[in-house]
A = this chain, B = another copy of it.
Amino acid sequence: MSTIFNVDFIGTVAGLLTTVAFFPQVIKIWQSKCADDISYEMFVIFSIGVALWGVYGWEIHALPVIVTNLVTLFLAVLIITLKFVFRKKNS
């Protein structure tokens, strides 16, 4: 029982970190108004993957999987959008 708790705890912390990680990237782009070094391909592929993780969470009825992946998807799409917006402004 205590092992299960530990495993779930590790999974929860892991999920929170891989979601929270995208906030500093959003803030950095917002402050510098530049995202030229960010790869569109990375964030587009990653967004599709995260959306599928959300579908996976929906199918297995795992609310934490759905919520963390929805937040990550929002942040990844926001990064793509900011890169596009600031590229247009700079050119």
Contact = CB atoms under 8 A, between A and B. Distances in A.
Given A24-B39, A28-B39, A37-B35, A14 B56 contact: yes
A48 interface: yes
A55 B18 CA distance: 14
A85 interface: no
Contacts of A35: 37
Stoichiometry, copies per complex: 2
Nearest to A72: B18
A11 B53 CA distance: 6
Nearest to A83: B37
A68 to B, nearest CB: 10
A1 interface: no
